[in-house]
Amino acid sequence: MRTLLFTFLIFFFTQPLLAETNNTSRLGNLSLGIKFNLNFSQAPRDFAAGIELNSPLLFNRIGISSEIDYSFLRGIRKTAIIKNEEVFNYMIYKLGILISPGSNEDFVRPYFKTGWLFIDSKDEIFSKPGYTGIYGSFGMNISFEKLNFLCFFLEISSCGIFEEIFVEKLTGNPIFGEGIIFSSGFKIFL
């Protein structure tokens, strides 16, 4: 099973052979992105910065997307334990399928991502060390005419966790890490 998974991942991340080749745009190639997220449901208390890696698109349509977000939960009210408002950190790992219609020549190329996510909350204030869930995203890559290896992207996501996440030990604050998330950033196509 590991050999099959390893072969599958190598195939997706190294093969641009089945995708259409294009000398003027690289929007179907392997991409590395830097992004900033804002959780609209908890704004401005829940925000993140992250990176993403997308495989080359198979048949210029489908690929694999992986993301890591370093998130900040701020605004925990003062309690007997917390003397001042503090910021707590957690990580979000995402692995999913990327579907992108259109062609490499398009100035704006939409995409859809869906997959699995894991929230790693190592801090002692959370009730569990990790939570799993699913996500779905819709976004668009906006390419630059002169710099064909670089694009700006906008994305809206919806994340759902399989169980409610509370900062139970300190407050009765509502859930974090899920809801509607707006992201933007830059991608470099290799």
Report d(CA 118, CA 135) in Å as an integer: 10
Output the tens digit of pLDDT for each of the chain's 190 residues.
455 445 544 544 444 444 444 445 555 678 899 998 887 766 556 778 999 999 988 888 899 999 999 987 765 555 555 555 566 778 899 999 999 987 777 888 899 999 999 988 766 566 677 889 999 999 999 988 888 788 999 999 998 888 766 555 445 555 566 778 899 999 998 8
The domain that holds 166 is classified in CATH as 2.40.160.20
- pLDDT score, position 165: 63
Residue 81 sits in which domain range? 2-189
- pLDDT score, position 167: 55
Residue 183 DSSP label: E
As beta bridge partners, residue 14 has none
Q: Kindly list the distances between the CA atom of residue 99 and the CA atoms of 26, 111, 138, 163, in Å, as whole numbers in the listed order.
A: 16, 6, 10, 28
- pLDDT score, position 147: 82
Q: Is the whole-model pTM more than 0.85?
A: no
- pLDDT score, position 28: 63
- Burial (0-12, 13-18, 19+ Cβ within 10 Å), 10: exposed
- pLDDT score, position 14: 47
* Domains held by the chain: number: 1
